[in-house]
Structure 1
Amino acid sequence: MKSNKFLLTIVITLIFGINSFAQVGLNKLAQSTMNFMLVSVSPKASAMGEAFYAVGNSADAIFYNPAGIANTNNTFDVSLNFTQWIADINYLAGAAVYNMDSYGTLGIHVMTVDYGEIIGTTLIDPSQQSQYPDGYIETGPLSNVGAYSFGLTYAKKISPQFSIGGNIRIAGQNLGENHFFDGTGRKNNATKLVFDAGVLYNTGFKDFRFGMAIRNFSSQIKREEIDEQMPIVFAMGTAINLWKFIDESSNNQQLTLAADFMHYNNYSERVNVGIDYTFMNLISLRAGYQSNRDIASWSAGIGLQTEFAGNRIEVNYSYSYIKIFDNVNRLSVNFTL
């Protein structure tokens, strides 16, 4: 009873936070920093249009709703992910969880971002204006430019239906150094302590479940004289196994329909929808759509599962259509022990 009351308090707090933020957030578009944390790194999630907050129950749930890892059925679950993002930017992400049964589930994660080659510039002396009409001089490729995130996750089942979880992590971004005509310089590096929290509830009816999460909660970053917010996300997701309406007793096929409702502090609201059809736990076909996106829209993907030496191995791929830029490919390898 106490556990249920505790969970109810968390749910009410999250709902109140979403409503309060919606009232005071004055459409502050594109006014956040460290937005690399908003990029999906899981092909399973991306193939479903990132409608994953009520779906994820393996290691890569850490990057969406951390409460999901409490529902893993394996002792160890590991996920290695690669994302070929736009503009020659590449993401590498890995997560691992350890199921401690009644003591909960412990997880770790790391993510790195390679921004590719970035050319540095320096401002010119006013006397050089005729020689350099653009007002700057190129100084060559910058070193140590990129971003990263790593941290710990803990999740626990409060009851057979309820799960809660949270991340505590360090996020950082290195953007090189400014050089001025007087010879001085300033480094553009930032590091922050960041928190995520989530809840997940399975009603038991046709595997209908819903989840809520807040991501990237942190204090502001000060650059020059400007306070920049982290890209905070409030998400509410639902999912249901439609195959249960066809054959209640069958576990050989699943047809999961999911929808997530997203509220951002740096963009207007979005809705993500996705579907996943899994046959005999051997092959999964996925598709999804993201609304209210500038360059992204539909996506699709496939997953293949097999057993090797008593361990389960899963390979997932997703393709995301992107306007203007090159389309995005994601690949992951997951294995359980």
Structure 2
Amino acid sequence: MRLPQADSSWVGSLFAQAPAFIAIARGPTHVFEHANPRYHQLVGFREIIGKPVAEALPEVVEQGLVKILDEVYASGRAFAADGMRVLLQCDPSAEPVERFVNFVYQPISDGDGSCSGIFCHGVDVTEQVRATEQLRASEARYRALFEEVPTGLYRTTPDGQVIDANRALVTLLGYGDLDAFRAIPLSSIYANLDDRERWRSAMLRDDVVNGFEVELVRSDGTRVWVRNSARVVRDEHGAVLHYEGAVEDITRNKMAERALREREEYFRTLIESGVEMVAVLNGDGTLRYTSGARGGAGGGGAGRWAAAERVRRRPSR
């Protein structure tokens, strides 16, 4: 149904000011009857009024848009698309322009219910789609770095639930995958729960904790020492959103330190329990350590002590 002239003029004015692209095509060949400035801009300001879509925009035929128009016209059912990729030959001497559009083809019914044309209404969302693609690419790069870095990385809630963790941390703690790690409360991985409370208190007080050494329990019950450095992430009102940090495996360091302490204690015990005096001198000849014994079987202890004293007092050359 066509609008009276006065109404047509008013509607045409609205179409011209609309921020969306709008076009009306009539008949089974979809002849352009009307297109607003946004639509003309979209297709490169080509002469399209009075021409069938296939003639005015020949590049869209192979892209299936004319077939969709045919189906809408024949069935009387609308068609809608979000973010559809369309290549438009706006300049015959240049490469087609890639655009992404949200649009609807709405059948126009006459008084008898038959379809006489199609109303097209849509918006160009190319910039939004490209921004989304760039964001996804950036997230993919971040995720790749997050997963491949050999240091354990994590993000957790204040109440002790895992939001995210990389492969290095999941493997370090002996879990098969991230979902399995997420399924446990963090309190269960601490060998000593007091350590978690000390860490949380320091985080809330300082917003950052560096080099916090703690013993954790792996999924199989074995233990591992780690150095945990983390920070608090807050919202604009100061409320804690989550904790995020890095975990370094220092188990070998701890084992080496313990072995050294045990070795030193062993030799100290061996020396202290001996019957002979033992003296350890520094490089400059001064006395560094002596055992408690100054005499013993066969005598001579005092003589050895005196000799050590003479060495200690002798000036270095």
Same fold (TM over 0.5): no
Question: Please, what TM-score do these two structures have when normalized by structure 1?
Answer: 0.18
Greater helix content: 2
User: For the pair shown, which has the larger CA radius of gyration, 1 or 2?
Assistant: 2
Q: Which has the higher contact order (CA 8 A, sep 6+)?
A: 1
Greater strand content: 1
